[in-house]
Amino acid sequence: MVRTSQSVMDSSNAETEVLVTRQSAKIRVALLTGGFDRPYAFGLSMALAAQGVSVDVIGGAEVDSPEMHSTSGVQFLDAYGDPRKPAGLFGRLARVLGSYLRIVRYAVSTRAKILHLLWNNKFPFFDRTLLMLFYTLLGKKIVFTAHNVNAGKRDGNDSWHNQLGLRTQYRLCDHIFVHTDKMKAELLEEYGVATDAISVIPFGINNSVPDTSLTSAEAKRKLGLAKDERIILFYGAIRPYKGLEHLVAAFQRIAPADHRLRLIVAGEMKKGSEQYWLDIRRTIENDPAREQVIQKIEFVPDEETELYFKAADVTVLPYTEVFQSGVLFLAYSFGLPVIASDVGSFRDDILPGKTGFLSQSCGAADLGQALETYFSSDLYRDLDRRRQEIRDFANARNSWSVVGGKTRALYEVLLQQ
């Protein structure tokens, strides 16, 4: 069975209790990032530092930021280098092996008693089994944020060794954070994790992406779009479970009746999804509405992100299977409404008519109807004013101060055991 800890997440006044504990001994924790997902590592490290926690961020070029070198209580350690730099096969292998060596050295030498894993590294089975066992033998308390309970199942490539690795990792954790009640239920039912070893915490709203004084009209102009054009945004890595083909089909259904509509697809094509994207692109290019689709199939750097979210009138998440999506909260951080298929916990995060709309399914007909409903709604007509209301809604539920406070409270409980 999983080593369990007393549950501290059910108290409604957890944030207040955390403030009282600031007078207690300094907590030191290592955030093991896996070398990517800067928004989450940035948000959590800054929030923990504000709560008086001493934080070592184990990352690389894709995680690094100036604030991680200038914020009191935060120390950044580069274990991964820059994977974006060109390298041959042996160069890449040396880089990966070097990162593991640096992580092992750090784990042996650090005074941090808590290792908080945000993501695994390059070799999931090794990370979930031998590396986890190594951390345990060092006497560390292990906290894991499970952003996906079983990504293999979601992506249609589950296997016995994937299941074995997951079961081992979950068994060796002292505590597991998830973002939704459905994720907690899956851990309980499919992996036998004890209920008091799991805490549900909000998904912190993205605060690592620049948000300048750029207006919606200016953003549209920079992208060569007219002010009155209706911009639908699909943003993020392109993978089959995200259902982009359904959004394209929905767009092709409604575009002929409204030539102001534009669909922007902005995100990089992930390894293994090449044919998936090629099939979608062929569908786009063979349709009369192809001139209304803007394709930016590449990684979008942080400094360009606001351009797309401020130019857009709505973000669409046509996902076929997911628990929760960081793109939703990124959209909310810019005050942008979201239309999502009714999967995972989107129903809990979207207030119909106030922060977006739910599509009954990811099918083209349902998505098309949801888009038409949105563009005829008061939410769209009064979008300039509603943007701030959406920001306020997200900040109240998903602020990093809330996440940091609840995380610190859990650390304290673990250290008392």
The residues spanned by each domain of the chain are 14-204+399-415, 216-397
Q: What integer pLDDT is reported at residue 6 of this predicted model? A: 45
CATH of domain 14-204+399-415: 3.40.50.2000
Tokens 């390894």, residue? Answer: 271
Tens digit of each residue's pLDDT (9 = 90 or more) over 284-302: 999 999 999 999 999 998 8
Confidence of residue 104 (pLDDT cuts 50, 70, 90): very high
Per-residue confidence at 25, pLDDT binned at 50, 70, 90? low
The reply to whether domains 14-204+399-415 and 216-397 share a CATH topology is yes
- Report, as an integer, the average pLDDT of 259-271: 94
The predicted pLDDT at position 9 comes to 43
Report whether pLDDT(379) > 70: yes
* Domain boundaries 216-397, CATH class: alpha beta
In tens, the pLDDT along 205-257 reads: 888 888 999 999 999 999 999 999 999 999 999 999 999 999 999 999 999 99
